[in-house]
Structure 1
Amino acid sequence: MAQEAKADAAKADTVKAWSIQGQNTLMLNQAAFSNWVGGGANNVGWLAGVNYNLTYEKGKDLWENIIILGYGQNNTKGIGTRKTQDVINLSTNYGREFAKNWYLSGGIGLQTQFAGGYEDGNNPDAKKISNFMAPGYLNVGVGVTYRPNDNFTATLRPANARVTFVLDKELQTAGTYGLKNDGDSSLFQFGFLGTAIYKIKIMDNINLTNTASVFSNYLDHPERLVLGYSGILNMKINKFISTNVTLDLLYDHNQIQKTQLKQTLGVGFAYNIDNGKKRSDKKDNQSWMK
């Protein structure tokens, strides 16, 4: 009996409340031409990124943290270097369970980019249209989170403050990203924010992660919804090689009154981290070890 008790204690000691799922990627592409009648320009490109989900879950507490960073460039002969990917997306959300799978929650999120963007394909000689924290979006709000399993999370915040920062003085003109006056560096909005993440395992080594969001500003034109969708299709070839296909859709009246679309395809090195198990029936722990 003493030996069994020690074994049970050792087993309990290995149980932890944190789990981590993440991917580190480095995608490379290259093309070369010589006397090619069909035409073409020599080019080389790269894209690096990290995508992490860190979750603490124990008892009635749920704390989710998301870190998404990505940057990429392409250099084409005769054109020069252009940016192909640029994203900073950080968020944290804490919830306290009040009913099965439902949590009273509050959180903060920040979205921006690393470097400047230009009107003519990121040509630095063209008109600048964006930069680091220009725009930058800070969301702070409270509401409820629904999380029935590890593959689906939805958060509804009927009280959410959204601050748009434009810290580049060249871009601080009335109308840019909704700014009211020339020289303004920020725009305050208050409204409803809804977000959802849905992960699908299509087949072995092929996974699709869907992220969607909607924001309505109570203070001014609540019918002008800010809509966003991001899809990441990851096809794992082996432990270190994978293919990623991404699709981003965005509509924001304050940015441009058109639907924005971005799509990327890359094959390269990827290292996945998956130290999380499915939650137990009691949902009171997650293990670091598979």
Structure 2
Amino acid sequence: MKKFLLVLSGFVGLYAKAQEELKKDTIVVDTVKHWSVLGKNSLMFNQAAFSNWVGGGANNVGWLAGTDYNITYEKGKDLWENIIVLNYGQNNTQGIGMRKTQDVINISTNYGRQFSKSWYLSGGAGLLTQFAAGYEDGNNPEAKKISNFMAPGYLNFGLGITYRPNDNLTVTMRPANARWTLVLDKELQLAGNYGLKQDGDSSLLQFGFLGTALYKVKLMENVSLTNTASVFSNYLDHPDRLVVAYGAVLNLKVNKFLSSNVTVDVLYDHNQIQKTQLKQTLGIGLAYTLNNGVKRSDRKDSQWWLKK
């Protein structure tokens, strides 16, 4: 009887160990997911108040809400990167009223198939527009309207190559790219607006070269700088009139939920206005960053949206 119990306990021990090893193997197999998500949701505020202030000034309060996500799939030679940037902000100044300070919708997707180290044959699409109407005279709603949702809206479709040596640098060059400008607000469908050929036109199709770049750098602990740039040349009409855009976001992280952002955007587009456009914002407030790493396969806890 003692021998039987001894043998039985041995089998139970071996079975438990086998189950433990099987469980470990199962976990390894289950974690082979290749999605990564890096996202930031923020709500920034700025405010100024004056009372009997000899230097002058007007009471004002403003806010800026933003969402910035990078969702990437990497497996073998496949690379699929998706970027979603949504920003909207307003400022209310005493005696002036509510004005829009930030407004952007920027969504893009790019798929690549690796043909050499860090190099991919790629194809992708992008949408750039805004949420609400924009006006002359500092976005004064009583002034002339100059833009609106999908007026303009820019759709890009193209084929080319992508260089991505690491997660901090991505460069895409598309020698074959269609750029479709949409003006869906009838009030803005006037000849010359955003390159429209005649009154009543709602779109303009261009074909040319598009180059884009993303570069992220950590300046110091909790301080990072994200640079984006793009250039487009239309083969069909005035290829020398480049559409050039540059954006920088300086992020100063206080803790997990508090941060400060400084943004700078520079744009030149001959079809919009024959001047260099500049926009700068500063805000401090709530921010939550979701960072599940680069490789989903490395961490099971990053599979929160992939439930079996």
TM-score range, shorter chain: over 0.9
Deviation at 1:30, TM superposition (A): 1.4
Indicate the residue corresponding to 1:117 in structure 2. Answer: 134
Given the superposition, is the C-alpha separation of residues 186 and 212 from structure 1 closer, same or farther in structure 2, using an over 3 Å criterion? Answer: same
Measured in 2, the distance between the counterparts of 1:113 and 1:57 equals 30
Q: How large is the Cα RMSD of the aligned pairs?
A: 1.5
Measured in 2, the distance between the counterparts of 1:52 and 1:269 equals 16
2:218/2:224 contact within 8 Å kept: yes
Find 2:280's aligned residue among 245, 263, 276: 263
Indicate the residue corresponding to 1:129 in structure 2. Answer: 146
Given the superposition, is the C-alpha separation of residues 256 and 156 from structure 1 closer, same or farther in structure 2, using an over 3 Å criterion? Answer: same
> What are the equivalent positions in structure 2 for 1:1-290 lying under 5 Å apart?
2=18, 4=21, 6-277=23-294, 285=297, 287=299, 289=301
Larger Rg: 2
Structure with the largest fraction of strand = 1
Q: Deviations over 1:120-179 (max 9, x none)?
A: 101111111101101000000011111111111111101000000111111111111000
1:20/1:288 contact within 8 Å kept: no
Measured in 2, the distance between the counterparts of 1:73 and 1:123 equals 12
Indicate the residue corresponding to 2:3 in structure 1. Answer: none
Q: Identical aligned pairs, as a percentage?
A: 74
1:71/1:85 contact within 8 Å kept: yes
5+ unaligned residues in a row in structure 2: which ranges?
Answer: 1-16, 303-308
Secondary structure of the 1:15 match is: coil
Secondary structure of the 1:16 match is: coil
Which 4+ residue blocks in structure 1 deviate beyond 6 angstroms?
A: none
Deviation at 1:11, TM superposition (A): 2.4
Secondary structure of the 2:238 match is: coil
Structure with the largest fraction of helix = 2
Q: TM-score, normalised by structure 2?
A: 0.89
2:31/2:297 contact within 8 Å kept: no
5+ unaligned residues in a row in structure 1: which ranges?
Answer: none
Given the superposition, is the C-alpha separation of residues 287 and 104 from structure 1 closer, same or farther in structure 2, using an over 3 Å criterion? Answer: farther
